[in-house]
Structure 1
Amino acid sequence: MTSRSADPSHTPDEIAEMLVHLGRAARGEDAAARLTPAQWTGLRFFARANRASRTPSAFASFHATTRGTASQTVKSLEQKGLLTRSRSDEDRRSVRFELTSHGRTMLRADPLRHLAHAIERLPDRQRAALSAALPAVATDLATMRGASAFGTCGDCRHFAGRDGGGYCACVAAELTPAEIGQLCANFAADTTHTTDPEETT
């Protein structure tokens, strides 16, 4: 029987609890913050989402909540002057949201910044492994729960890289370099390859 001290690995249950703990710890200063945890999540989402995903319904899917609850969060951010709405160019019946300058300033006080700094201090190899593992876990969890998965172009089967940008087959549109790193509600995980962190070292 292998002793615990000889095997430094953690069980899936322990890793899951650690992830939950990190999420709670990262929100620890929210009690004194000007936004609720849901409002911070909304602000981050609309800052990172691509044009087609900056909608209340996409935010509801991302936040794993009801459309009504998501709409209330979006409305509160709008009332605080952190978001502004506009009609979609493709569908005038739908609306999209953008961060205001006040919203971008508010993100500088994001409670997650300490967690981001801690991740930044990890050795390159560990950070690469974490970067490769978390999207795969998130996609698998969404699949098990029948929910929408979110991700970025580099891990999506609809994406084809091109010089100076890329192409999305899902929406049949050219993408700028800035758009490639944004969250997308039309994300479909590319299961034909996986990133091996050994290759990044």
Structure 2
Amino acid sequence: MSLPEIPSDRIAELLIHIGRSSRHEDAGSKLTPAQWTCLRFFARSNRSTRTPSGFASFHATTRGTASQIIKSLEAQDMIVRRKSPDDGRSVYFDLTDAGHVALEKDPLGDLIAVLDSLDDADRAKFLLTLNRLTSSLSDSRGARTFGTCGDCTHFTHTAQSGYCSCISEEIELDQINQLCASYSPPHLTERSADVRS
């Protein structure tokens, strides 16, 4: 007996539906969905990725629109601009105490609670599938792919923490699960190798 066909368009519709329904905001929220996305992005990203261009790429918007969203969060004292210690001309952003407090009331809380109710194996498979979808979609559009060190081809586990060959630096344990714009997903590297052979 063969399994019924799985309609990909239905899966796509459900992903969009989940995204939209989970972005509802309490009547008292001061932030728009785009501002919530920006706040989450800066909370989850490594320092080199917490830039206006990093957020613009992640949010799939223009640099100008990203800058306006960032400025609105700065005006509300949710994030603070800092000069990069590596390059005095570039900047990155950190969350302020007010930004961290705001994230405690993140509208994604209901969705996170539902995901927390899944067992570890189901969550791991779901995350792997979503990472593959995100990476493949970005690759097909020629867009930047975001991910974390743990499953990046640039990353090597060491005895103490890890090493990133992209930036030629040690990665501390608390940074391994942060989003990075220099992420290189394994399956895209494998596909490139297949094409070359």
Same fold (TM over 0.5): yes
Work out which of the residue numbers 143, 146, 149 in structure 2 matches 1:147.
143
- After superposing on structure 2, the runs of 4+ consecutive aligned residues of structure 1 that deviate more than 6 Å are none
Query: Could you tell me how far apart the structure 2 residues matched to 1:17 and 1:163 are?
Result: 43
Unaligned runs of 5+ in 1: 194-201
Query: Could you tell me how far apart the structure 2 residues matched to 1:101 and 1:29 are?
Result: 21
Please tell me whether residue 122 in structure 1 is matched to residue 95 in structure 2.
Answer: no
CA distance 1:71–1:188, shift in 2 (3 Å): same
SS at match of 1:91: coil
Offset, 1:30:
5.4
Query: Could you tell me how far apart the structure 2 residues matched to 1:41 and 1:16 are?
Result: 20
1:165 aligned residue: 161
**What whole-Å deviation, never above 9, does each CA across 1:60-92 have from its counterpart, x for those lacking one?**
000000000000000000000000011101111
Please tell me whether residue 174 in structure 1 is matched to residue 165 in structure 2.
Answer: no
Q: How many equivalent pairs are there? A: 189
47-56 or 124-133: bigger deviation: 124-133
SS at match of 2:13: helix
- Scaled by the length of structure 1, what TM-score is found? 0.89
Offset, 1:10:
3.5
2:57 aligned residue: 61
Query: What are the within-5 Å matches in structure 2 for residues 72-83 of structure 1?
Result: 72-83=68-79
Query: Could you tell me how far apart the structure 2 residues matched to 1:71 and 1:167 are?
Result: 32
Confirm or deny: 8 A CA contact 1:83 1:100 kept in the other structure: yes
**What whole-Å deviation, never above 9, does each CA across 1:71-123 have from its counterpart, x for those lacking one?**
00000000000000111011111111000011001000100111011011013
2:193 aligned residue: none
1:112 aligned residue: 108
* Counterpart residue identity of residue 62, structure 2: T
* Counterpart residue identity of residue 181, structure 2: A
CA distance 1:187–1:22, shift in 2 (3 Å): same
Please tell me whether residue 43 in structure 1 is matched to residue 62 in structure 2.
Answer: no
Unaligned runs of 5+ in 2: 191-197
